[in-house]
A and B are shown apart, each in its own frame.
Chain A
Amino acid sequence: MAPTSTAEPQAPVVEMCDISISFPGVKALDGVSFRLLPGEVHALMGENGAGKSTLIKALTGVYDIDTGTITVAGVPSRFTGPRQAQDAGISTVYQEVNLCTNLTVAENILLGREPRRLGRIDHRALNRRAHELLSQLELDIDPRSTLGAHPIAIQQLVAIARATAVSARVLILDEPTSSLDAEEVAELFRVIRQLRDGGTAVLFVSHFLDQVYEISDRMTVLRNGRRVGEYLTADLDRHALIAAMLGRELDVLEEIADAEPGAHRDDTVPPIVRAVDVCRRPRVDPITLDIFPGEVVGLAGLLGSGRTEFARLLFGADKATSGQIAVDGKPARLRSPRAAIAHKFAFTSENRKGEGIVGELSVRDNLVLALQARRGFARPLSAKAKSELVHRYMEALDVRPRDPDVLIKNLSGGNQQKVLLARWLITRPTLLILDEPTRGIDVGAKAQIQKLVTDLATDGMAVLFISAELDEVARISDRVAVMRDGHNIAQIDGGCAVSELTRLIASGSH
């Protein structure tokens, strides 16, 4: 069935023609054309680094375009900043929450548009207006609470409420669902449909193909900074979409699924880590878990179920309030990340921007950071050793661009994640704790990372793998620990079905 938007040829609300943008050494967009019709949800698809974010930033005036034209509602436009784009009715919710965590929810929603009285901010009107907007989205959030006190998922919803606060002609959602649970996604989609039916053009970027197929009417696919094509969602099946995005077929995933779960676990030796009744009240109740060499243990659960919090305890990033941890059969005190690293643990945070990359430094420095920190400042890696390591790992993990002197903040999310993995792999850890390593990254990089994880386990490394995506957890884990409300409610050996995991997480019992 064709969406309503194509029934009659409507004038596009946004029309971008032949847009090119170059960054030093990279052609980010190469003659890309794109249009957005009113009353449609248009998905922008492509791998990391395909140019999706760049296209959005060109449209919203964050980047200056080198060549090409942008027409908004028939008027040629060239915005010099997000504010101008907003005034033209284009609102954006970015992948990473870009709000002020020290302000209240209401202040964030209406930031820059605060109701005023006698020249001063009218806080009562502010809170009332914010409350109205939140209740339109059926969100039960106190507008007077501080934003930073809420988990990321709520902050994301507030960001969306903020975008809908302006009467937006165009709403751009860049990975809005990457931190949301299924319920919250459903809620968001309800709001999106509501806005679409009201005539708003929605530009939707997501790596979750299910969601794209559920919500979008039309797609534009980008690859390597060029446009592959524009398609009606109904006309393009998944296989064709992935082929268009990657330019190749994807069979790595099937390969992983074929491996026999638990085949490489070595339980003849003491577990790499044995946690007994480890807890941090009130978020994590006592948890007991063994992780053996050569196995991937998945941690499944909803956001806030304690999965991230438990991983941080194991790494010493937060201090446990009680419980014992033994490493290789010997009691260990993991009071800081340094202590955990000394036991050959490694950890990548779910918060890649805030706790992972060191944005202003080069890929080279980021890659050797953990190894150098362990060696101490007085024993620097020689320039030669450094470039050999960096070169080898950038090659092995297929980091693009293959230039170690680029600042890491200029890399796409998937490539940043690969650099962070490499940062730990060169320290030769025995336990690798990965918190949402594939969040917000494209299908290709995701498959590469999943494959890498299973390969590492095959070679004897122990991996604790956390993901919100159950089929991912189910596919690569030898064993899954299911978390719910800070409890570990089940540990399932061997391959387990997604449906079983879903049931456990939803019902909380066997």
Chain B
Amino acid sequence: MMRRLTASPLLWPTLALIALLGLNVVLTPAFLTVRIEDGHLYGSLIDILRNGAPTMLVALGMTLVIASRGIDLSVGAVVAISGALACAHIASAADPGSVATIVTAMSIALGVAVVLGLWNGMLVSIFGIQPIIATLVLMTAGRGIALLITEGQIVTVTSEPFKVLGAGYALGLPVAILTSLTVFAVVGLITRRSALGMLLESVGVNPAASRLAGVRYRTIVFAVYVFSALCAGIAGLMIASNISAADANNAGLWIEMDAILAVVIGGTSLLGGRFSLTGTILGALIIQTLTTTVYTAGITPETTLVFKAVVVIAVCLLQAPRFRRLLRRRRRAALQPAVPEPEVAEPAQRADKVAAS
């Protein structure tokens, strides 16, 4: 049992998360307190969940892309475009407060996100362009497109229904986190209850063998990029909704890096194949907790990124098989300092006897 626990790839991310939370409790004893006001939950933990929701969502999409042996650098740009489209539509609408306007705005944003995903999928699966290059195109161009949509301005909107996704509450919890967890549950169900997860892993591990076994290689690769863009689109709506504005320059900036980190911390290899959605969720939570820790600990903004990097390196090292092997060797070497005496003569004789017989 113990052995199974230590062998689990989720062990280290879980411990890291607990350690970080513990650190926060030491820094601010009231950290774990969750208050109820107007039937809503408030507190640092809830903040972490709500602020981490967009990264979590983007990281879920990224997990599937990485499992297929790809990577999607364009998610940040898609976040910006999605938010810009929605806000631009609402701002120009006759009735920005109506639910119909919001539904149209969101549909436009998500529709365009899907189209952008199709673009990535086409470049990767049909034209065979390396994913990092293929998605780099949209990463660079996308933010420009978002700026064109907002005409270089920060578009602010006043619309109560639009605020629900990013700032609203349902069942006492932020809608944002409920949305991310719902997507997580749906993806988990689809990948593990259908054969999609297995086929996706197979494509990621060995594309050539999968193709010869009749796996729809192109369709699967196509699908993961579309899904990733869709997740980024929803995340973009969340971010815009939270601040009731579209900031084409800063919305979703570096979110691709956080998402990739979350995936890696969660134990999914960048080489593709085996993936863990739960690991990704843990990874996203670690990253968001880190950000919060930085604020609560009063770490100066200059050192924030260094602090983040140290934690990330520690988690990644603890997960790396080679590093763990080194640790084990160290331990073993410390336990048994003497190498047993080599017996040279006797077995050689035995070998001779056999040779002669």
Contacts and interface: CB of A to CB of B under 8 A. Distances in A.
A17 B194 contact: no
A369 B210 contact: yes
Task: Sort A-B residue pairs by CB-CB distance and give the 4 closest, nearest first.
Answer: A69-B342, A380-B195, A33-B347, A377-B196
Interface of B: 193-196, 198-199, 201-202, 205-206, 208-216, 273-274, 329, 339-340, 342-344, 347-348, 350-351, 354-355, 357
B293 to A, nearest CB: 35
Most chain A C-beta atoms within 10 Å of own C-beta, residue among B201, B206, B339, B340: B206
Given A69-B342, A71-B342, 20 more contacts: A15-B344, A17-B347, A18-B343, A218-B355, A230-B354, A231-B354, A317-B212, A336-B211, A355-B212, A360-B201, A360-B205, A369-B199, A369-B210, A369-B213, A372-B199, A373-B199, A373-B210, A378-B194, A380-B193, A380-B195
Given A231-B355, A377-B194, A377-B196, A358 B210 contact: yes
Given A33-B350, A361-B198, A232 B344 contact: no
Main secondary structure of the interface of B (DSSP, over half): helix
Contact of B213 (A6, A67, A373): A373
A377 B195 contact: yes
A76 B340 CA distance: 11
Nearest to B347: A33
Contacts of A354: 206, 208-209
Contacts of B206: 354-355, 357-359
A503 interface: no
Contacts of B194: 377-378, 380
A141 to B, nearest CB: 26
A359 B205 contact: yes
Contacts of A444: none
B351 A349 contact: no
Contacts of A33: 347, 350-351
B343 A347 contact: no
28 contacts: A15-B344, A15-B347, A17-B343, A17-B344, A18-B347, A33-B350, A35-B348, A67-B340, A71-B344, A78-B339, A230-B354, A317-B212, A347-B212, A349-B209, A354-B208, A355-B212, A357-B206, A358-B201, A358-B206, A359-B205, A360-B273, A361-B273, A369-B213, A372-B199, A376-B195, A377-B199, A379-B195, A380-B195
Nearest to A69: B342
A144 B342 CA distance: 47
A218 B354 CA distance: 11
Contact of A369 (B202, B343, B344, B357): B202
Interface residues of A, number: 49
Contacts of A71: 342, 344
Main secondary structure of the interface of A (DSSP, over half): mixed
A229 interface: yes
B179 to A, nearest CB: 25
A264 interface: no
Interface in A370-390: 370, 372-381
Contacts of A349: 209, 212
A12 interface: yes
Nearest to A351: B208
A404 interface: no
A365 B202 contact: yes
Given A230-B354, A377-B199, A380-B193, A423 B213 contact: yes
A341 to B, nearest CB: 4
Nearest to A348: B212
B340 A355 contact: no
A430 to B, nearest CB: 15
A373 B214 contact: yes
Contacts of A230: 351, 354-355
B221 to A, nearest CB: 13
A315 B340 CA distance: 57
Nearest to A231: B355
B251 to A, nearest CB: 34
A35 B214 contact: no
Contact of A361 (B193, B205, B208, B357): B205
Contacts of B208: 354-355
Contacts of A315: 212
A333 interface: no
A338 B193 CA distance: 24
Contacts of B196: 377
Contacts of A262: none
Contacts of A361: 198, 201-202, 205, 273
Interface string A21-33: 0000000000001
Contacts of B347: 15, 17-18, 33, 35
Contacts of A337: 211-214
Contact of A17 (B199, B339, B342, B355): B342
Contacts of B212: 315, 317, 337, 347, 349, 355-356
Given A361-B202, A380-B193, A232 B355 contact: yes
Nearest to B211: A337
B105 to A, nearest CB: 32
Nearest to B269: A360
A35 B344 CA distance: 10
Interface string A88-111: 000000000000000000000000
Given A69-B340, A361-B198, A372-B195, A15 B348 contact: yes
A347 B209 CA distance: 11
B23 to A, nearest CB: 35
Interface string A2-21: 00001000001001011000
A355 B350 contact: no
Nearest to A381: B195
Contacts of B274: 360
A245 B208 CA distance: 35
A263 B194 CA distance: 44
A500 B218 CA distance: 46
Most chain A C-beta atoms within 10 Å of own C-beta, residue among B214, B342, B344: B214
B214 A341 contact: yes
A76 B209 contact: no
Contacts of A376: 195, 216
Most chain B C-beta atoms within 10 Å of own C-beta, residue among A71, A380, A423: A380
Contacts of B344: 15, 17, 71
A358 B193 contact: no
Interface in A50-79: 64, 67, 69, 71, 76, 78
A69 B195 CA distance: 47
B195 A76 contact: no
Contacts of B340: 67, 69
A226 to B, nearest CB: 13
Contact of B348 (A12, A360, A381): A12
A315 B212 CA distance: 9
B186 to A, nearest CB: 15
A78 B329 CA distance: 13
Given A231-B355, A355-B209, A373-B216, A76 B201 contact: no
A372 B198 contact: yes
Contacts of B202: 358, 361, 365, 369
A271 B210 CA distance: 28
A347 B212 CA distance: 8
A419 to B, nearest CB: 12
A230 B350 CA distance: 9
Nearest to A70: B342
Contacts of A369: 198-199, 202, 210, 213, 215
A207 B127 CA distance: 42
B354 to A, nearest CB: 4
Most chain A C-beta atoms within 10 Å of own C-beta, residue among B199, B216, B347: B347
